[in-house]
A and B are shown apart, each in its own frame.
Chain A
Amino acid sequence: MSRAVKVKTLISGLGALGSLVWPSWALAQAPSADATAPAAESSSEPGASVAKPAVKMPVIQHFEQAPYPPEALAQGLTGEVVLKLTIGVDGKVSAAEVATPAGHGFDEAAQAAALKFHFSPAERNGVPVPVQILYKYAFTLQEQEVPAAEVAAPTVGNLGGKILIADSEVPLAGVKVKVIGPGAAELEALTDASGKWELTGLAPGAYKVAIEAPGFQPFSSDESVVAGEATEATYRVAAQGEGLEVTVVGERPPREVTRRTLARREIARIPGTNGDALRSIQSLPGVARPPGLAGLLIVRGSAPQDTLTFINGTEVPLIYHFGGLSSVIPTELLEKIDFYPGNFSARYGLAQGGIVDVEIARPNTKCKEQRSVAAGEHCYHGLIQSDLIDNRFILQGPVGASKTWSFAAGGRRSWVDVWLKPVLEEAGASVTSAPVYHDYQLILHNQADADTSWRLQAYGADDELKLIINDPSAQDPGFGGSLTLSTGFYQIQSIYEDQLTRNVRLESMFAVGQQTIGFSLGSFLFDLKVHPVTLRNEFGFQLNRGMTLNVGMDFALLPFEVTVRAPPPPNPGEPDPGPFASRPSLETYQKSTGFRPGWYTEFEWQATEKLRLVPSMRFDYARDSGQSDVSPRLNARYELTGKTASDGSPSRQTFLKGGVGIFHQPPQFQETDPVFGTPGLESNRSIHYALGVERELLDQLDLSVEGFYKDKRNLVSRAPDTNGTFRYDNEGAGYAMGLETLLKYRADARFFGWVAYTLSRSVLRDRPEKPERLFEFDQTHNLTVLGNYQLGRGWEFGARFRVISGNLATPVVQQGLPALYSADAAAYAPLQADLYSRRLPLFHQLDLRLDKMWKFDWWAFSTYLDVQNAYNNQAVEALVYNYNFSQESYQTGLPLIPNIGVRGEF
C-alpha cells in the first residue's frame, strides 16, 4: 500500500491517463452484428428483474502514450478530451471522433494516439460485436512521490472499491466518486476501466461516499476509514430511464408481480407460430391453448374478453386478422411484447384478466458491421417477405440527413384468397369477395437526446370477406346465405417521453382512430363503428433514492354507433334455445359516446435494500354503466439472495415476490344494451393474489415459480325474471387458481428456450343457486417445451412440443332422447347434460422450424420452413354430433401444415 501523498509538481516526461466512460451509452449505440439479433433487442426473463444480456465491455490491451502538447506543457495546463471510439470486432479502433474538445493541442494528440489503441473486442452473449464507446483521454501532470521521510506518521487509511452496474457485472468506468470526510473535506476519485477507484492517506473517521454518473440513479453510502487499513466496498448503481433498460442493465425493477417479456428474436422464431407476434404468447405459462385457430387470449382462467391488448399504451380490440389468422402488427416492427398474467400495475385498468402490451420498435437506423461508414452515420434498412399467408415489406432509416429523425413504413397483404377461395367454393360457398386482409404502419420518430423522444405512428388493418353460403349448416340452417365480414381499424398515436428533470419523467400518449366491425349473415346483422380518442399521461417523480411516485391518467372517449339484429345469444348455463333459424330477432340501434376516464397513483418504494413495495390505487369511471370503481393494489418483491453473498463471493439472485389487488372490468356492451341486456349493471370484480419465487440457477438459466388465486365476484350473469324475460345482474362468481413454472434459458448467441408448465383450475358459479362448474377453457395441465438453436452457417433450428389437457365439452344427455326436433328450423336442439362436464382427450403437438440465412455484402436472404403439427396428430378440438345427436364423434384440429417463407433484407 502506497503511503505517498499526492503533490502536483511540474516535471518533464508527462503521462496521460485514459479511461472508458459511460459504457452503457456505448452499447446503446452499438450497431448490430446480426440483423436477427438487433442491439435494441430486449432480454426476456421469467421475471423482469433478472433480465441480463451477457455483455462484455472492450478492454484496452495496447495503450498508446500521447505526446504532451508542448504549448500546454509550457503553460502547465492539463486537459481531458472525450473521444468517441469505434472499435471493430477485431478490437481495432477504426475511428476516433472528438466528442468533448479540450483545445491547446490536446485534441489532436489524443485522437492520434487513440487510433493506435487496441482492445479486446466487446461481446454480447459471447459473440464479438462492434461498438462505439466514449473514451476520456486525460492529460495530467505526473505526480512526484515525496520521500517517505517527509511524510507524517502512518496514521492514515485508504478507501476504495469497485462500481458496477446493478443487476450485472459490468464495471462502470470514468465515474466521479465524491468522498466527504471529517470536517466536510471533499475529495474526488475517478473509476478506471475496471470500475475501481481508491483514495489513499485518509484520516481515520466516518466518510460519506457519493456516486453520480450520468444515466444512473444517484447513490451514496457511509463508510469508515481505519488507520493502517484499506476499506473496500463494491457498489452497484441502477440505471435511470427507458433508454438504458434495453441495453445493458435490463429492465427497471418491475411494478408488477410478474412481467414476461418476449423479445423480437424469440417471437420470430417460436416454432408453430409462423413468427406471429401474439400467437407467441400462447407458449408462456398462465396462457391456455385456444381451440383451433381462434385468436383468443385465455389468461389464468379468465374469459378471453377479460384480457386487454395494447399497442404502445392504446387498447386495440382487433388484434388478429380474421379472428386468429395472424396478428395485425407484423413481428418485424415490434420491439417486444410485455405480458402481465395478473396483478398488473395500476397503469392498466378496465380488465380483470391479463394485459398484453405490444411495443413498436424505434426505427432502425444503425449501420451494419460490414458497411464502411463514418462514425455517427445512419443507414436505411428494408425487408420484403413472402410466405403462404401474406406478403409484407418494411423500410426504415433516417429522415434525410437527420441524426434525430427516423422513420419506418410497412405494409402487408394476405394472399390466402388465392388458395382459400377454391377451398370455400368446393365446400359449397359462392365467394363474392375472397378473404383478404391488409395492414399498414408508418412511424416517425424523433430522438432529441437520450432522455427525450417523440413519435408519431399510424397503423391500421382491414379484413374483408364476402360469400354466399349456398349450403347452410344442417345443424342450424339459419347459418346460411349472404355472409359479409369486414373489420378494420386505424390509429394515429403521438407518444412523447421526456426526462423533464433529473427526478421527473413524463410519458404522454394521445391517440385517435376508428374501429369498425361489420358482420351480416342472412337477416342477422352486427354493425359497429367507434371513433376512439385515448389519452394517457404518466409522470414519474423520483422522490428520493428509494422512492418513485407514478401518477397517471388514462382517458378513453368512445363515440360509437352500433346496429344489431339477431336473436339474443344464449349464455353459458342456460338451456339450449334451439337453432338460430327458429327464433325471432331483436334489433337495437345505439348512437352515443362512451367515456371511461381513469386515474392512478403508484409508489415504487425500495423500503429496504432488499424489499421493494409497490402500493397503488386506481380509480375508474365508466359512463356507459355509470359505475365508479376503486382498485387498490399492492405488489412486493424481496431479494432473498443477492448477486454477492455476505462473504463477498458471487451468488445467484433469488427473489420472493407477491401481490394482491382488486381489478374491475365494466360489463360488455351487449350486457348493458337496453334491448339485448340490462342497463345499470355493476362492474365485474376480481381479487388477484400471487406469490412466487424467481431464482437465477445458472448464468443463462432462470427459474420462476408462482402460485395465483383469483377470486371473481360480481360477475355479470343472466336469469329469467318474474315475467320470464332474461335479465342480467351481477350474481355470478367463481375462482381460478394455479401454479405457473417457467424454466428459461435466456437467449444467447446460439440458443433460447424454455419449459413452461401451468397447473390450474378455473371454476364458475353462474347463479348463487346453481352448482359450480368448470370454466369453458379450463385446462388442468399445460406443458410447453421449446428451443431454438443456431447451428452455424446461417442455419437455425427450433422445436416446440406441447402437452395440454383436453378441451371441455358439453355432451348431450346420456339417457332417453338426446335432442328435440325444432320443426320450424329443420334442426335439432340438443338436450344437454351438465355444462362442460366432459374432458376431451389430451392435446399434444410438435411444431418444427428451420431457418437459413445467406449473408451478402449489403443484404441478406433467408428462408424458413415452419411445420405445425409435425407428426400430424389428430388432436380433438370438440364434440360433434350427427343431425339428431344420436351419434357422437370428435372434431379434430388442423392437420400437419407446412408454411414456407422467403425474405430479403438489407
Chain B
Amino acid sequence: MAFLLALGLVGCGIDIAPSSEVSSLRVFGVQKDRPYARPGEEVTLRMLWADGSKNVGRPIQRLWLAGCVNPPADLYAGCLASFGSLAADPTGAALPPGVAIGQDDTFTFKLPEDIVASHARSPDPSQPAFGTSFVFFAACAGTLGFSPTGRGGFPLECRGPDGSLLGADDFVAGFSQIFAYEELRNENPTVTGFELNGRAVTPDCIDAACLGLDTQAPDCDASPELCVAACEKDGDPKCTEIPFRAVVAPSSVEADGLAALRGRSLTEQIWANYYADRGSLTSAVKLVNDATTGFNDSNPTELLAPRVPGPLRLWAVVHDNRGGTAWARLTITVK
C-alpha cells in the first residue's frame, strides 16, 4: 500500500491550486495556549488568517462557537447535531446551555470540570482518562449568520452583500479540538525565526504578534537579505528556487507523553505548513520532526518569486500532532 501511495504521490497528479497559494480568504491556524488542558481550565484560542483576494481591505467577520464536549466517537461531526437549535434560531439569541460564542481573533472559554469524568473510558487500557471539546470558528468576507437549513450539517453560513451564499474562497469554517487530561501536558512548538536563501532573517512577527499586523515591505538597501529578484514569468520552473524555512527550536520538541505511558520512546511529529500570497512554493508542507527518526532542521521549501515586483508575504505555521501550533510571518520585497 505504501508503494502504491508513493506512486500516487509521484505520478498521474492533477493541476489544481496548492494549499500554499494564498489567493482567497484563508485561515492558516488556530493556536491554543493550552493544547492539552486540565478540567475546568480556561483556554484561549487565536486565529491567524489572511485575505489574499483581490478585494483588498474588505471586512472579515470572525466567530467562535464553543460548548461541544465529548461528542459521539470524539468526532467533530457529532457536535453538529448539538448545534441544531442554533440553526433553528437565525438570531442565535437562544444559545443552548454550555455553548459560548466569541468574535474577533481571540476567544477564551472554560472547559467543564467534569470533562474527563463524563467521557467514556477508552477501550485502550493504556490510554489515560481524557475528555475532549471542540471549538468551531469561522471567517467570513460577508455577513455571518446561523444557517436556517444547516447545509452540510454546519450551523453557520456566510452571505455576500446581495444575500447570496459565499463559497470556500470567501468563507472559511473549521474546528479545533482541545484534549483535557489530568496529568498529560503539551506545549506549542517554538518558532524562532526564518531562514531565507540560507541566511537567518528576522520575521515580521511570531505567534500572537501576528494578529492584525500590517504589512511593511522591507527596504532592499537596508535589508538586502529580504529582497529577491523577480522571475520572468509566474511559476517559471527555470527561475531560481530560493530556499525558505521556519526555524523551530529543537528544544520545543517534546516527548510524546501518551507513548511514554505505553513504554515507547517517541517524540511529537512536527511539520510546517508554508503559505505565500504571491509567487509559489515548491512544497506546501515540510517535515520538521519525525516521531521516530528525530529532528529534521534542514528541510526547506523553495520559493519561486513572482513576475511582478512588490511586497510578498510568507507564513509558516508549525504544528505538532497533539494540537500544538505556532506561527511566524515574513515579508520580503520582490525587485
Contacts and interface: CB of A to CB of B under 8 A. Distances in A.
Interface in B1-51: 1-20, 27-30
A823 interface: yes
Interface in B112-159: 120, 122-124, 126-127, 130, 136-137, 147, 151-154, 157
A588 B29 CA distance: 32
B249 interface: no
Contacts of B2: 322-323, 465, 483, 485, 519, 521
B290 A481 contact: yes
Given A471-B286, A482-B293, A890-B14, A523 B168 contact: no
A242 B199 CA distance: 76
Interface string A581-592: 111111110000
A146 interface: no
A474 interface: yes
Given A822-B175, A824-B325, A723 B120 contact: yes
A400 B289 CA distance: 59
A817 interface: yes
Contacts of A478: 269, 321
A1 B9 CA distance: 84
B179 interface: yes
A895 interface: yes
Contacts of A813: 151-152
Contacts of A474: 18-20, 273, 284-285
Interface stretch (A204-212, A426-434, A537-545, A689-697): A426-434
Contacts of A720: 72-73, 78
B17 A887 contact: yes
Contacts of B317: 826
Given A468-B287, A469-B287, A883-B18, A426 B124 contact: no
Contacts of A817: 151-152, 154, 167-168, 171, 173
A881 B321 CA distance: 23
A483 B290 CA distance: 10
A724 B70 contact: yes
A523 B27 contact: no
Nearest to A567: B74
A471 B302 CA distance: 12
B3 A322 contact: yes
Interface string A676-696: 100000000000000000000
A323 B152 contact: no
Interface residues of B, number: 86
B75 interface: yes
B291 interface: yes
A294 B2 CA distance: 11
A824 B323 contact: yes
Interface string A408-448: 00000000000010011011110000010000000000000
B154 A523 contact: no
A580 B74 CA distance: 13
A819 interface: yes
Interface stretch (A90-98, A266-274, A571-579, A644-652): A571-579
A12 interface: no
Interface in A880-903: 880-887, 889-895
A578 B319 contact: no
Contacts of A458: none
Interface string B242-285: 00000000000000101100101010010101000000000111
B15 to A, nearest CB: 8
B286 A889 contact: no
A821 interface: yes
B107 interface: no
B165 interface: yes
Nearest to B178: A824
A886 B167 contact: yes
Contacts of B70: 724
A473 interface: yes
Interface size bracket, A side: 35 or more
Nearest to A673: B123
A126 interface: no
Contacts of A825: 319
Given A470-B286, A482-B293, A893 B123 contact: no
A813 B154 CA distance: 12
A820 B154 contact: yes
Most buried by A among B7, B126, B165, B262: B7
A372 B291 CA distance: 66
Contacts of A575: 75, 77-78
Given A292-B4, A480-B269, A820-B174, A523 B169 contact: no
Interface in A664-678: 674-676
A703 B105 CA distance: 71
A522 B75 contact: no
Nearest to B318: A826
A122 interface: no
Given A477-B319, A522-B269, A819-B168, A470 B292 contact: no
Nearest to B78: A724
A587 B177 CA distance: 20
A344 B271 CA distance: 51
A59 B75 CA distance: 79
Nearest to B169: A886
A324 interface: yes
Contacts of B151: 813, 815-817
A726 interface: yes
A323 B4 contact: yes
Contacts of A576: 77
A501 interface: no
Contacts of B157: 816
B271 A477 contact: yes
Contact of B256 (A483, A523, A881): A523
A465 B2 CA distance: 8
B311 interface: no
B168 A884 contact: yes
A825 B296 CA distance: 19
Contact of A584 (B6, B8, B17, B258): B258
B314 interface: no
A293 B17 contact: no
A880 B16 CA distance: 9
B90 interface: no
B172 interface: yes
Contacts of B91: none
Given A427-B6, A823-B137, A586 B127 contact: yes
A890 B12 CA distance: 10
B152 A427 contact: no
A725 B73 contact: yes
B299 interface: yes
- Which 8 residue pairs of A and B lie closest in terms of their CB atoms, listed nearest first? A821-B174, A724-B72, A883-B19, A575-B77, A322-B3, A823-B30, A886-B168, A816-B151
Interface of B: 1-20, 27-30, 70-78, 120, 122-124, 126-127, 130, 136-137, 147, 151-154, 157, 165, 167-169, 171-177, 179, 256, 258-259, 262, 264, 266, 269, 271, 273, 283-287, 290-293, 296, 299, 317, 319, 321-323, 325
Given A676-B123, A817-B151, 15 more contacts: A424-B6, A467-B6, A480-B285, A482-B293, A577-B73, A584-B179, A586-B122, A586-B124, A724-B120, A821-B173, A823-B175, A826-B271, A889-B14, A890-B14, A895-B12
13 contacts: A292-B8, A323-B4, A324-B4, A426-B10, A482-B292, A565-B259, A581-B319, A720-B72, A723-B120, A724-B70, A724-B73, A820-B76, A895-B12
